[in-house]
Amino acid sequence: MPHPEKTHADLLIVHGDVFTMAGTGSGYIEDGAVAISGNSIVDTGPSGSLRARYTAARVVDASECAVLPGLVDAHVHSGIALLRGVAQDSPSWLASLAPFVNAMSLDALQAGTMLTVMEGIRAGTTTFCDNSPGIAHSLPFYEKSGARVAASPLTSDAMPAGGPPNARLPEFSGEMRAFGLLETRDLIDRWNGAAEGRIAVQLGPRAADFCSEELLIEIRRLSEKHGLKVHMHLAQDKRETEQVWRRYGVRPVGLLERMGLLNERLIAAHLIRCTPEEVERVARSGASMAFCPSSLLICDGILPPADIFMDAGGTVGLGTDETSSNNGANLWSEMKAGCLGLKMKRADAAYMPAWKALRMATTDGARAIGLGHEIGTIEAGKKADIILIDLTRPSLVPVMRRPVRNIIPNLVLSARGGEICLSIINGSIVYENGHMTRFDEGEAMGFISKAAEEICRGAGREAAETRTAPFVMTENGEY
């Protein structure tokens, strides 16, 4: 029955503990509601008020649920997700990973994206800032799954170097460069703004040691021409710092500065080989930082300097990096790891409070990847990327609202991801009652298993010959 006096919405979420993340805090609304029309949020406020003003095709009762903006994974390489757990606990993660990377097919890259999206959405991620080789082949799955993605290829024109590490500088290949730029331009033409606006294309030069000056110049031009973010590793390892120094006589941050890339369009991942002064310089340039605590601790035993970056006024997003290093695509794990790691580094229990971690995974993350105008908060006019979290799960009980509201510290430090009960992206329900709504998970899992089996077969000889650390631990019966 129509209500002529009421506005019609497609979806009305009522009676939730709504954290809009708007403003400078958590934007809490007790017994809160959100009205969604099409792909956008049209209103928020107390449930009573919204129920009086809206009718809706579907009303979701969010009693005993937290209602949050969907989480933003600010740095992820979904393509290599199938290599989960094969290179941990190694002196060199990259060397242990190599036999498996060398056994990968295009199917395996697509399967990796499927796995990351399944794991991520189940754990509340709605946007993936995905920098992956072969990303063009994974975008049809992103389109189908309903997820939001800021996609960039992993572009490089450095030839694989033989001999011992750092023996000589790799040469750059004009052919690789041309192909990389072709791939990038094609991505922009075909995909930027596609899937009802859920797909944004970014530029993805791998790192300063993997890209010639010529390539970086072209990247800058494309970035300026199309107004695109440049999603790039920066000072991520010793090799990069050493090679850039030998080649150009500057360190990586200095090189990006010289190339005109150190600015508000840059999303800089990791920064672990920066001096504190360099971290501050990157932050002051307006570039954002992708902070991936678990991944860098597992691969290098180093916590990225997110504290210095934030203290210098920079915007930090949280990233899972990839399941092959992390070992998961779960931002709740990153929120906790980020809080614990920074409290430990600063020897200060009050540093990095839970609400700041939650901002990092929502509004700050959205701004960090250049989508702050569209997502990251629950506000009228934003795209409707919203998750509901079941607060009756043992990991989140009891819920207290006064004298202390304990929901955020419990979400950040105790939620496991499995408490997510509903996920909405671009106004559409993509996950509900334990199931993805837009694709067949069983079929995806079959595809993933097959690709993983092929990797195992292909990697066997090289892993045995190079005796990677995990291979030895497997042989010793420790793994």
Interaction residues for a copy of itself, span 172-201 (CB under 8 A): none
**CA 112/CA 122 separation, integer angstroms:** 15
Question: At its nearest, how many Å lie between a copy of itself and the CB of residue 376?
Answer: 17
**CA 216/CA 84 separation, integer angstroms:** 31
Question: At its nearest, how many Å lie between a copy of itself and the CB of residue 440?
Answer: 14
- Of 39, 88, 152, 423, the residue at the interface with a copy of itself (CB under 8 A) is 88
Question: At its nearest, how many Å lie between a copy of itself and the CB of residue 112?
Answer: 10
Tokens 């899992």, located at residue: 445
**Please, what's the b/e burial string for 443-464 (b: 16 or more CB within 10 A of its CB; e: otherwise)?**
ebeebbeebbebbeebbeebbe
- Per CB under 8 A, does 299 bind a copy of itself? yes
Number of amino acids touching a copy of itself (CB under 8 A): 94
Question: At its nearest, how many Å lie between a copy of itself and the CB of residue 16?
Answer: 16
> Phi first, then psi: what are they for 329, rounded to 5°?
-115, 45
Q: What is the DSSP letter of 83?
A: G
- Per CB under 8 A, does 227 bind a copy of itself? no
- Per CB under 8 A, does 12 bind a copy of itself? no
- Per CB under 8 A, does 1 bind a copy of itself? no
> Which range of residues in 55-63, 117-125, 174-182, 376-384 is near a copy of itself by CB under 8 A?
117-125
Question: At its nearest, how many Å lie between a copy of itself and the CB of residue 30?
Answer: 11
24-43 binders of a copy of itself (CB under 8 A): 25-28
- Per CB under 8 A, does 288 bind a copy of itself? no
- Of 351, 390, 432, 439, the residue at the interface with a copy of itself (CB under 8 A) is 351
- Per CB under 8 A, does 89 bind a copy of itself? yes
Tokens 């020897």, located at residue: 347
- Per CB under 8 A, does 308 bind a copy of itself? no
**CA 448/CA 342 separation, integer angstroms:** 35
**Would you call 447 helix, strand, or coil by DSSP?**
helix
- Of 344, 381, 437, 440, the residue at the interface with a copy of itself (CB under 8 A) is 344
55-84 binders of a copy of itself (CB under 8 A): 82, 84
Residue 470: asked if its preceding bond is cis (omega within 30°), the reply is: no
CA 107 to chain CA mean position, Å: 22
For a copy of itself, which is the closer residue by CB, 2 or 301? 301
Question: At its nearest, how many Å lie between a copy of itself and the CB of residue 422?
Answer: 17
Nearest Cα to 129, choosing from 294, 329, 412, 419? 329
- Per CB under 8 A, does 119 bind a copy of itself? yes
- Per CB under 8 A, does 131 bind a copy of itself? no
- Per CB under 8 A, does 377 bind a copy of itself? no
Alpha helices (runs of H) in 102-152, residue ranges in sequence order = 106-122, 135-145
- Per CB under 8 A, does 468 bind a copy of itself? yes
- DSSP secondary structure of 198-253: TEEE-B-B--TTTS-HHHHHHHHHHHHHHT--EEEEES-SHHHHHHHHHHHSS-HH
381-420 binders of a copy of itself (CB under 8 A): 392, 394-395, 397-410, 413-414, 416-418
200-219 binders of a copy of itself (CB under 8 A): none
**CA 127/CA 163 separation, integer angstroms:** 40
Cβ neighbours, 10 Å, residue 466? 12
CA dist 210 → 93, 172, 214, 239, 386 (Å): 18, 8, 12, 10, 37
Listed in sequence order, the residues at least 6 apart from 373 whose beta carbon sits closer than 8 Å to its beta carbon are none
Question: At its nearest, how many Å lie between a copy of itself and the CB of residue 306?
Answer: 13
318-337 binders of a copy of itself (CB under 8 A): 323, 326-328, 330, 333, 336-337
- Backbone conformation region of residue 193, classed left if phi is above 0, alpha if psi is from -120 to 50, else beta: left
- Backbone conformation region of residue 196, classed left if phi is above 0, alpha if psi is from -120 to 50, else beta: left
For a copy of itself, which is the closer residue by CB, 437 or 474? 474
Question: At its nearest, how many Å lie between a copy of itself and the CB of residue 375?
Answer: 21
- Of 9, 42, 115, 187, the residue at the interface with a copy of itself (CB under 8 A) is 115
Binding pattern for the stretch 433-452 against a copy of itself, x by CB under 8 A and - elsewhere: ------------x--xx--x
